[in-house]
Amino acid sequence: MSLGPVMLDIAGVALTGEDRERLRHPLVGGVILFSRNFESLTQLEALVREIHELREPQLLVAVDHEGGRIQRFRQGFSRLPAARQLGEIYDDNAKRARRLAELAGWLMAAELRAVGVDISFAPVLDLDRGLSAVIGDRAFHADPDVVADLAQSYVHGMHRAGMAATGKHFPGHGGVPADSHLALPVDGRPLADILSEDVRPFERLVHYGIEGIMPAHVVYERVDRQPAGFSRFWLKEILRGRLGFQGVIFSDDLSMEGAKGAGDVVARARSALDAGCDMVLVCNDPAAADQLLDGLGPHDDPVLHLRLVRMHGRPASGLLELARDHGYREAVHAVTQVAIA
């Protein structure tokens, strides 16, 4: 069975019968976990193992675990700094900031890989323009070159830990005040400005070999009437064509308010896939998940399957081995000192 183009969530800290039935559906290719799915390290490890044992090839297991405000698992995991804290250090000492970004990326990924999680949707490549509260300190900096520099170091750390990286939110969410979880943001800037500023970190990370990209639920009204995640122009002409990206394009959550203008969940998924997304996320709405699995229809794409398989985490140290590692203890000390500063 191939991996399908749909990523779903689950209800709690263990799989229910309904969860297992959904996750065995041929359209499903991954699971995204939230804080409600975490009780302890041993519980999480067992949950991820059970998810992986459901299918062959294994379903992808993902989480949003950036650090700062967006860190789904807390107890037993290191406290990770918000990206902006690394950007502030960069202004005083760029070399130190790059080293800390690499350590933060490695530590985040190493701890998740130790319990079997394949990917964290990180890093954020948006610019901190002081406009977006939902982005805010999740962004490294306002300067696109600093964002790219720190993100490249962060991704290098993730790769050392055996985890593929996903940059978000293409082509940039930092230029709008509205939160796409609650509304459909509209960015009125011309294409030339977006390409010369917001897109630059994405372009550099694509050239560096980043494996995944997540587009924004934002309309760039002077470029296309569709939000970027539903836009052939942004995904096929710019991201695939101009930037040459060959990895996985993950939609942002189709249950967000910024996605609902595309119709019901089946219409949203079809629009996103037709525009160029490889995998669509539907979270926190089991009824919508069932509607999508019933209504989307077959989706057999060998290229998609190959892209998704490359997102699986590489073999990594387990929890006990990681805890005994001197480099791990040094990374915990260095990174958590930034997080609590």
- The pLDDT score that the predictor gives to residue 301 is 81
Which DSSP letter does residue 227 get? Answer: B
pLDDT tens track for 46-82: 999 999 999 999 999 999 999 999 999 999 999 999 9
Determine the residue type at 337: Q
Dihedral sign computed on CA atoms, order 264, 265, 266, 267: positive
Band of the pLDDT at 166, cuts 50, 70, 90?
Answer: very high
- Residue reference for tokens 């263990």: 14
Q: What is the CATH number of domain 67-339?
A: 3.20.20.300
Enzyme catalytic residues: 181, 252
- How many Å apart are CA 119 and CA 260, to the nearest integer? 26
Is residue 177 scored above 90 in pLDDT? no
Instruction: Enter the pTM of the model.
Output: 0.96
pLDDT over 70 percentage in the chain: 98
- The pLDDT score that the predictor gives to residue 170 is 98
Q: Which residues contact 235 (CB under 8 A, 6 or more apart)?
A: 215, 228, 229, 249, 275, 276, 277
3-class DSSP assignment, residue 291:
helix
- How many Å apart are CA 43 and CA 65, to the nearest integer? 18
pLDDT tens track for 268-303: 999 999 999 999 999 999 999 999 999 998 887 888
pLDDT tens track for 239-271: 999 999 999 999 999 986 655 666 799 999 999
Determine the residue type at 149: D
